Structure 1
């Protein structure tokens, strides 16, 4: 008995590993930079191999007395394939036709599918009427060679990322101009991080101890503002130093055109080794953000691959498993950056590394240690917490439904959001520690900021759409560079992320006079840190047509007039004017009403008219540079990701 059962376990492991490798390869073929994630193949082989080995072992215990040795081997292969078909087929049936596991139709489908599997297994347990040795051995002999082949595939998949990185760079290496010694640049963008949730910005919770220490060693800008309230246009502004009205990377043109010079291209031209790591599909090769980078890693294309395996999805669905260890979070990003530093980085050249961390973007799913840190009721079941977050995500396109989320639910989501920020702070601390260990930190200009903030019930809204309030525009901004910036400095004046590129040009003494002259922003630095006290701060937002279309298809009754509109804002001297395409303009006194709770446009119409005239004049001057380039249809992979985040219908 023991030998037969052990044989069944080995056969199951090989067949399961083959199925896991096949599914993983099918997923990889849909990813442009697929060689970077081939290490997922041996992981998939181990997961599927283990599951199949257990199922085949159970089969062996039931079949070892009933079947002769040759038939036992063949039937074990068939039974393992049947079990894999049951698992994978059941997953796809539920995903396509019956996604609600506990609904009656879904339970009926599960019952019928399980009955079919049990009948098939029972048929395989029946002794054969006439053995056929040649047929049976022809099924089994290739398994030994297959096992060796799988081992070769696993080994090659582990080595392929390093080889691909070295041979498949976006750009060729460029020598450092003679006589120049410039610092490294590390630009970290925390997706969807609002400044008022950082302890260094006065938040009552200690969410960001690592960034607090970074601020103590550098410069913290207390009132930094994004030029747009969502990812694509905000990153385009960071990279080009242009406003959305100029670069036009907005709806309905979701692409950063090649006609614009980017920060990465500028630094590459000055001898920098450039590498980008992005966790957001809006900041990807497909959106043309890789221009200027020798290496660009679309983390979400491959980083989530382990979570796309059917068995992993079933495990998470059935057991409620939530862990960043299997996710595409900051840990995976840090691993990719470490791998780049270890295998690609040339110490003879300064580097520019750009990182977009997905955290704390919705859904708020920090690891358990950070999830429970701030919850008012830590013992509340994780499943309930996630159910609240998931239901809110489904409401996201119809932001008016915020009123249906009561105060305790909002607080719970705020607690989870704080946990996300604390988790990301820890991972940023680990990355900075890695640079310090490599003795690179003090020779690096570290820039930590966010592309935009987040509404979590603020102004009756959730997410980062439909408004240009400070909850979306006020972002953290910390710069550290011991050789060029003062330590412990806090800048109270308002600044804009549109100023980052001209600031770096001046800080690094880059030779780019024509580009510098064309930029609308202002440098923050000179011989000492100087910021003009009354710079105008502007932002733009285009009407979110696809999101509202999604709500229409769900039959939700929405007064679209409050949402189907474009918005622009101008802040000067503590007063903020919001222009709306539907004519419902707003005016706020940020000095006395930082939460923008009282629209005072009726009390101060002259101030509103003056700011509107200034905004109109500025928009007329901010003409787009040429005709936008053609945009290719979005890949279905990308569309699914953005649909899951609530951006598309």
Structure 2
């Protein structure tokens, strides 16, 4: 139990690596003391370093066999070998320069950025006709395979399943960022953002806020730490969960407050936003599973139980909307900012690495029947959470400009439009707190990542549970060049020079 607890909060394996170094030092000191003075003369100290040096030599010697997949699996259970592998990545000058380039584009200082105005529509005027209310629920860290609509083994999310049966369910949805701090601004902005902890001067590029305000939406929102700098506190805001810390936001409590505070006159359309923390690993793992609740093998019972509660909360919202005759006049979006690693190959958490369980997210979109009749989509095409905002533009009758592959593109098109353009694309991904970047390609079936912190690169077949792929020199060169080009393009958009 102690080992599991340590692993859950040892993101990027830092604690394990430090522990291994300490064990090595203590072992060396003890061995040195036990050998004695005479034996030290006959067996030089260098012999004590023989084992790690031998491992390093064997590691290099067998590189031609390309044992990367087996190695990646083994490091999940052997922290000492993980450290040796990471230490041996003495990079070539070319690799070192490339990793330095990635670091220079990571965790930028606010003074480096000169943010421009970002607009999907210019000039932006109020939309004509009927405007639906919009309910955007982003369940922090919710994994797609913990939902029945994506995984038939799940029986604890019946109400989300009920919503999904009357909604569009996107099979290949991804987040651009592995952590909340960048994922949420990217949703509100409708595109990738500068890699920085706090997004300053965001109103000029908050394309979602511009859409809501020009159409006189009442904002009914949690103002958590991730949107406090994105959304002004003004007369258009009804703030929920005031006085609560972000990690205290519980979806049932938020929805109860929403029902009390949502105006009854319906004079204005409403926009509801919440980022509930029920499923976040730091919250869910502190929660006891209620007596009588059981979950199938392979599911973390604390995460599953927390998501079961979220499922009930969403069910309560659906009941309220139907009772108030709002259900068929509302766009309802249920998604997550990112997923979570829950022990896959030794990984726990998110934010610091790019793997399918973190980047491949659920996305369920309910449309009113009168609005659904106007649009079409391709549920098997790759989509991103950054597509949510331009999609809302289309649903309100606008034709958002295509701002390029760094920005979102509506996953809805008019009935006679082309909805298959994304299948041929390749798109940039990023972690949130380190120089770890990647690409998703082949319509969301392949991912490649460059971890300039750990000094490793890997490729994954998203469609397979243990989908590690052999990394070839040509694959590395191609993906490195793509990532470099995309980061340079992002720097050009936001006018910064690392």
For 1:404-458, what per-residue CA distance to the aligned partner results, in whole angstroms no more than 9, with x for missing partners? Answer: xxxx9xx68x111011111101101101111111101101111111001111112
CA distance in 2, matches of 1:265, 1:293: 15
Matches within 5 A, 1:541-580: 541-543=431-433, 565-573=434-442, 574-580=445-451
Match of 1:273 in 2: 218
Aligned equivalents of 1:570, 1:599: Cα separation in 2 = 14
8 Å contact kept, 1:525–1:531: no
Matches within 5 A, 1:174-323: 177=126, 180-245=129-194, 248=195, 250-251=196-197, 253=198, 255=200, 257-278=202-223, 280-283=224-227, 285=228, 287-290=229-232, 294-297=236-239, 299=241, 301-303=242-244
Shift of the alpha carbon at 1:290?
4.1
Q: Show CA shifts across 1:1-58 (max 9, x none).
A: xxxxxxxxxxxxxxxxxxxxxxxxxxxxxxxxxxxxxxxxxxxxxxxxxxxxxxxxxx
Counterpart of 2:82 in structure 1 is none
- Which residues in structure 2 correspond to 1:60-459 (within 5 Å)? 177=126, 180-245=129-194, 248=195, 250-251=196-197, 253=198, 255=200, 257-278=202-223, 280-283=224-227, 285=228, 287-290=229-232, 294-297=236-239, 299=241, 301-303=242-244, 328-341=249-262, 344=263, 346-362=265-281, 363-364=283-284, 372-375=292-295, 414-459=300-345
Cα deviation, 1:576-607, whole Å, max 9, x if unaligned, reads: 1102225422122334x3444x2411xx3223
CA distance in 2, matches of 1:458, 1:359: 21
- Cα 1:624–1:442 shift into 2, 3 Å: farther
Offset at residue 291 of structure 1 (A): 6.6
Structure 1: distance between partners of 2:232 and 2:330: 22
Q: Tell me: CA distance 1:605–1:483, structure 2 relative to 1, closer, same or farther (3 Å).
A: farther
Q: Using the alignment, how far apart are the partners of 2:306 and 2:376 within structure 1?
A: 26
Change (3 A) 1:466 1:537: same
* 1:503 maps to 2:391: yes
Is 1:588–2:460 an aligned residue pair?
yes
String of CA shifts for 1:476-528, please: whole Å, max 9, x gaps: 10111122337999822221111112211112113765x96897222211124
Say if 1:259 and 1:620 are closer, same or farther in 2 by CA, change over 3 A.
same
- Counterpart contact for 1:224–1:495, Cα < 8 Å: yes
> Which structure has the larger Rg over C-alpha atoms?
1
CA–CA distance in structure 2, aligned partners of residues 580 and 292 of structure 1? 41
Q: Which runs of 5+ in 2 are unaligned?
A: 1-124
Q: Does the 8 Å contact 2:356/2:462 carry over to 1?
A: no
Provide closer, same or farther for how the CA distance between residues 345 and 618 of structure 1 changes in structure 2, counting only shifts above 3 A: farther
Kept in 1, the 8 Å contact 2:240–2:258? The answer is: no
Q: Does 1:536 align with 2:478?
A: no
Deviation (angstroms), 1:339: 1.6
SS across alignment from 1:428: helix
Map of 1:110 onto structure 2 = none
- Residues 256 and 338 of structure 1: is their aligned pair in 2 closer, same or farther, counting only changes over 3 Å? farther
- Greater share of residues in helix: 1
RMSD after superposition: 3.3
Unaligned runs of 5+ in 1: 1-175, 308-326, 377-407, 544-564, 629-649
Residue 526 of structure 1 corresponds to which residue in structure 2? 413
1:229–1:465 contact (8 Å) kept in structure 2? yes
User: Would the aligned equivalents of 1:199 and 1:207 in 2 still touch at CA under 8 Å?
Assistant: yes
Alpha-carbon offset, residue 461 of structure 1: 2.0
* 1:282 alignment partner, SS class: coil
| Cα distance change of structure 1 residues 180 and 292 upon mapping to structure 2, 3 Å threshold | farther
Change (3 A) 1:360 1:611: same
Distance 2:425 2:235 in 1: 32
Q: What's the offset of the Cα at 1:211?
A: 1.3
Pairs aligned (count)? 363
Q: In the aligned structure 1, how far is the partner of 2:201 from the partner of 2:339?
A: 21
Deviation at 1:469, TM superposition (A): 0.6
User: Retained in 1: the 8 A contact 2:127–2:396?
Assistant: no
Deviation track 1:194-243 (CA, whole Å, cap 9, x = no partner) reads: 11111100141212111111111110001210111111210101100121
CA change 1:433–1:496 in 2 (3 A) is same
Kept in 1: contact 2:222–2:274 (CA 8 A):
yes
Contact 1:264 1:352 in 2 (8 A): no
8 A contact 1:579–1:586 mirrored in 2: yes
Pick closer, same or farther for the CA change 1:595–1:511 going to 2, 3 Å. same
The answer on whether the counterparts of 1:218 and 1:488 sit within 8 Å (CA) in structure 2 is no
- Report which structure shows greater RCO (CA 8 Å, sep ≥6): 2
For residue 486 of structure 2, the aligned residue among 613, 618, 627 is 618
Structure-1 residue corresponding to 2:119: none
